[in-house]
Amino acid sequence: MTISDLDMQRARIRLLQMHYDSGVGHIGGNLSALDAMLIVFHEWLRPQDRFILSKGHSAGALYTALWSVGRLSDDDLKSFHKEGTLLAGHPPASGIPEILFATGSLGHGLSLAAGTALGMRLIGSDARVACLTSDGEWQEGSTWEALIFAAHHKLKNLLVLVDHNNLQGFGSTTEVASMSPLWQRLQGFDVDLEVIDGHDPEAIRASLARNAERPRFVVLRTVKGKGVSFLENRMDSHYLPLNEEKFRIAMAEMALS
């Protein structure tokens, strides 16, 4: 079912509220990934399909997407990052059926997704697997090994989304270990590759609707902290939580956008 622009905005506001109530950071990378994740959950995933969040620090966006499709409740979100919660700061290893793997350590999600996609094919399932990675993860060898594996096995049931917001924990991706632009490196592999605006719902929908006989890679050109002026393209949005003043400003900006 198509998600409306209004419901996407409500989800962004709910994500901010959840992070503020819990005093938790990582807001920038959650806002850069949320738009695509919402459309994947509302419009692409079928009951038999699977989603793997490789950039585990965007767990807040994953929980918000699950909330938006009725898989988690408001009370569940209120427990985010609290003692004894299932909604930890990174996706848990068990307890939420839609979350297959714990992905707190970056660089492993694509391997898990590729193996799951191959496993589905081997058992004769038509299930598809979507995996959301960060751009920083592509500095890790394990991610490239998974790419080689996926291309070799021609995993056409694998969709890889790259949240390309150009920032990571210790600076810009260019400063830390430049491979910019990443999509030029990916072009050398036997995959179906597309680069789109990761905040344009129609561009995301059109890309997800495409089919290919190879693994599909969609590079989402995104803005870290999208929608909140003092978070956009700021490295500190990777870490810092919102105080009360900044929370009120952020909520006002979201309401006006």
For helices 27-39 and 201-209, angle between their N-to-C axes, nearest 10 degrees: 50
For residue 92, give the CATH number of its domain: 3.40.50.970
Strand partners, 221: 164, 197
Span 182-203, average pLDDT: 95
Q: Look at residue 238 in the predicted model and tell me its pLDDT.
A: 77
Range of the domain at 194: 5-256
Q: Grade residue 175 by pLDDT with cuts at 50, 70 and 90.
A: low
Total of domains in the chain:
1
Query: 146 CB contacts (<8 Å, ≥6 apart)?
Result: 110, 111, 113, 114
241: preceding bond cis by omega (within 30 degrees): no
Residue count of the chain: 257
Rounded to the nearest 5 degrees, what angle is found at the Cα of 38, between the Cα atoms of 18 and 173? 80
Q: Grade residue 252 by pLDDT with cuts at 50, 70 and 90.
A: very high
Q: Grade residue 176 by pLDDT with cuts at 50, 70 and 90.
A: low
- Give residue 74's region: left, alpha or beta (phi > 0; psi -120 to 50): alpha
Q: Grade residue 169 by pLDDT with cuts at 50, 70 and 90.
A: low
- Of 10-24, 121-135, 173-187, the poorest mean pLDDT is in 173-187
Q: Look at residue 51 in the predicted model and tell me its pLDDT.
A: 98
Query: d(Cα 96, Cα 91) in Å, to the nearest integer?
Result: 9
What does each C-alpha distance from 251 to 18, 73, 115, 217 come to in angstroms? 12, 21, 40, 33
Residue 232 identity: E
pLDDT in tens, 20-39: 999 998 899 999 999 999 99
Q: Look at residue 104 in the predicted model and tell me its pLDDT.
A: 81
Query: d(Cα 13, Cα 60) in Å, to the nearest integer?
Result: 12
Query: d(Cα 51, Cα 219) in Å, to the nearest integer?
Result: 17
Average pLDDT, the chain: 93
Between β-strands 158-164 and 216-221, what pairing exists: parallel, antiparallel or unpaired?
Answer: parallel
The secondary structure element, H or E, covering residue 44 is none
Query: d(Cα 250, Cα 227) in Å, to the nearest integer?
Result: 8
Q: Grade residue 168 by pLDDT with cuts at 50, 70 and 90.
A: low
For residue 180, is pLDDT > 90? no
pTM passes above 0.85: yes
Span 149-159, average pLDDT: 98
